[in-house]
Each structure stands twice: as C-alpha cells, then as structure tokens.
Structure 1
C-alpha cells in the first residue's frame, strides 16, 4: 500500500509511520517545485506547438509515481523546429491525448529552449 493511501486511511484509525510522513513531505515539496516551474513557464514561456515523436515510459520513479519522457519536435512562431525532451509524471492511460504523433500546446523557457512545458489542451 502506498504512503498516500496509508495517510488517507489514517482518519479511519490506521497507523501512519514516520516514513509515511517523510514521503508525504517529500511529495508535497516535489509538487510545490513543479507547480512553481509550471506557473513561471505559463506566465513567461514562449507559446508554441510540439509534436510528440516518442515516449519512453517509466524512466524514473519519485514520490509522485512513474515519470515518462516525451520526445518532442517543437515549433515556435518564426523559428526553425527543434527537438526537446520533457519528463512528465502522469498515468498515460488517463491522458489519451499523449500519444506519438499528437500535437500539443507548449510553453518554452525564453532563456533555455530545452525547458519545455506541455500545456493541457483547453476543453
């Protein structure tokens, strides 16, 4: 049973260990850092479109779960396309739009074009 489920079940009288608390704290710190980057790139990033040309599954695991690498052909307005890689922590089965060949909106760090945020499509 994962730490999140144990923490959730604590209200039902189950025991939460120090390790569970530490994992929860680590998970919240990771989420906070990712959220800060997402907010910065949403605000400052250059808008573009990327085509997913490859997906490597389960390249890493953190407290958030499995991470996958998206290999992207990124196109910014009035620029030549270029290749970039973005790691994402999500369950691929719940994101049917994340498939090879799909075009997705992105935001690119204006100071470092290798930093690409895949933006959830509207609607």
Structure 2
C-alpha cells in the first residue's frame, strides 16, 4: 500500500501532516494551505509532553494520541523517525483511524524513509 492510498478507504479525513524527528514538516496533504489553516502543528507539543510523561512513569512507548477539537478529531501517530498528524471529522470512526498505526509503520519505512 502506498501512502496516498492509505487514507482512501476512510471518508472524512481533512488533512495529514508528516513531521521528521526534529519536528520539521516534510509532507502536507491535501495541500499546505489546508494543513496551515487547521494549524496542526499546535498539537505536536502536547503529544510530545504526553510521550515524555509516559516514559517517566515507565509505561510503554506512546504510539498514538487522540484529541478532539470542536468539529474534528486529531490523531497523532509516533512512528519513529516520523510523526503523523491526521485531522478528521468527528463522525469518522476513531477505531479505524487508530488502527492505521501499523500501516503507517510500513509506509513510513517503504515509501518515506527509504526514498529520502
């Protein structure tokens, strides 16, 4: 499965932001304008704080963070060396979004990391 086709079966996804390990955006879908308008980068510090707290409490590594805004849900996936942030309508099945983690791992290695 290729990265663009990964989200095709889930209706209601508004935007996807992919960051490298330093937090630099490397991909914005469907366009940079949409991702910037949703201001998805503001979610990253909260997700990183949760990850830090999780490791301090000696819990397993945090893979996904689900947050809700007024009209959308934001799922943050920690797929080293990348971070994926997906914004979707609140009517989208959250379980389907969370289950994308394994597919994102494969795609991150095959399509994004190996080609850079």
Name the structure where helix makes up a greater proportion of residues: 2
Return the index of the structure with the highest Cα Rg: 1
The structure, 1 or 2, with the larger RCO (C-alpha pairs under 8 Å, 6+ apart) is 2
Q: Same fold (TM over 0.5)?
A: no
TM-score w.r.t. length of structure 2: 0.31
